[in-house]
C-alpha cells in the first residue's frame, strides 16, 4: 500500500495555486511584483552627484517624503566574527555625510563585539515603494564619547532609561526583570530637571564606506545598478566601463 500524502492548496499572488506535500518545501517561486517600466530607468546621466554621499542624500530625502515608508532610515547592518561568521539586524541611521554613516547601539551587544574584532561591515537600505535599494560596504569605528553623549540626551527619556535597563544580547530570565529595572530607573530619573546619565556601554559608530551601490528595480528584471567605489592605485578610468567621479571615487554600471 502506498503512503498517503497530505496535500494543501494555497492561493498566492497572481491567482496561482501551489501544491504543498508533507515533507516538501513550500514553493514561493511565483511571488513577484512589478517594478518600474523601461522608460523609468536609472542612468548615469541622472546621477545628481559624482560621489556617493550626494546621491544618497537625494534618494534618502525622496524616501523621507513618502508617507508609506515609515522608517526610511532603517538599515540592515551586517557584521561578522573574526572567523567570518555573519549576522545581520536592523538599526536606524542617525547621521550621514562625506565622513560616513552613523548609528548607535549597546557596546556589549553581539554586533558591537563582532565589530570590535572585525571592523568590516555592510549595510543595506530598501525602500520598496520606490523600488530602490542602497548597499554600503566599509569599515566601522566608534565615534567620540562626547558625540555619543550629546545624541543620547536628544532621545526621549523613556528611550534613555531603556538603554540603561538593557544589557543587550545577554540572556535574561524573563521580561519581568527588564520591567523591574525600568521601574527602578523611572523612580530615580523621571523627575523634572534630572538627567539620565549615558551608560558607558552605549554609544555610536560610523561606517566609513569604500563602496556604495545604488539599485533600482525594473519590470523586465534588467535592474539598474550603479556602484561607487574608491579608485585603486593602478586604475585609470576609461569613461566606458569605469567613470571618474569626485573626491577619489569612481563609478561603474553592474550587470543585474
Q: Residue 26 — pLDDT band, cuts 50, 70, 90?
A: confident
Percent of the chain beyond pLDDT 70?
A: 86
What is d(CA 149, CA 145) in angstroms, rounded to the nearest whole number?
A: 6
Q: What is the mean pLDDT of residues 190-203?
A: 94
pLDDT above 60 (res 40): yes
Which are the catalytic amino acids?
221
Summarised one tens digit per residue, pLDDT across range 64-75 is 999 999 999 999
Judge whether residue 251 has pLDDT over 50: yes
Amino acid at each position: 500500500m502506498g503512503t498517503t500524502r497530505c496535500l494543501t492548496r494555497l492561493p498566492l499572488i497572481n491567482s496561482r495555486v501551489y501544491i504543498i506535500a508533507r515533507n516538501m518545501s513550500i514553493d514561493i517561486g511565483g511571488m513577484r511584483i512589478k517594478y518600474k517600466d523601461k522608460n523609468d530607468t536609472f542612468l548615469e546621466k541622472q546621477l545628481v552627484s559624482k560621489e556617493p554621499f550626494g546621491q544618497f542624500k537625494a534618494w534618502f530625502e525622496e524616501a523621507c517624503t513618502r508617507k508609506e515608508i515609515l522608517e526610511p532610515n532603517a538599515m540592515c547592518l551586517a557584521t561578522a566574527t573574526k572567523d567570518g561568521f555573519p549576522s545581520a539586524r536592523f538599526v536606524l541611521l542617525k547621521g550621514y555625510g562625506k565622513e560616513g554613516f552613523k548609528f548607535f547601539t549597546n557596546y556589549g551587544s553581539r554586533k558591537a563585539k563582532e565589530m570590535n574584532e572585525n571592523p568590516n561591515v555592510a549595510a543595506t537600505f530598501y525602500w520598496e515603494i520606490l523600488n530602490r535599494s542602497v548597499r554600503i560596504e566599509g569599515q566601522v569605528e566608534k565615534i567620540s564619547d562626547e558625540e555619543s553623549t550629546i545624541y543620547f540626551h536628544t532621545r526621549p527619556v523613556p528611550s534613555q532609561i531603556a538603554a540603561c535597563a538593557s544589557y543587550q544580547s545577554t540572556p535574561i530570565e524573563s521580561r519581568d526583570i527588564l520591567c523591574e529595572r525600568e521601574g527602578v530607573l523611572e523612580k530615580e530619573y523621571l523627575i523634572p530637571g534630572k538627567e539620565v546619565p549615558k551608560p558607558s556601554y552605549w554609544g555610536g559608530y560610523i561606517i566609513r564606506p569604500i563602496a556604495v551601490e545604488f539599485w533600482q528595480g525594473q519590470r523586465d528584471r534588467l535592474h539598474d545598478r550603479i556602484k561607487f567605489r574608491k579608485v585603486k592605485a593602478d586604475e585609470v578610468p576609461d569613461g566606458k566601463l569605469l567613470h571618474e567621479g569626485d573626491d577619489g571615487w569612481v563609478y561603474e554600471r553592474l550587470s543585474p
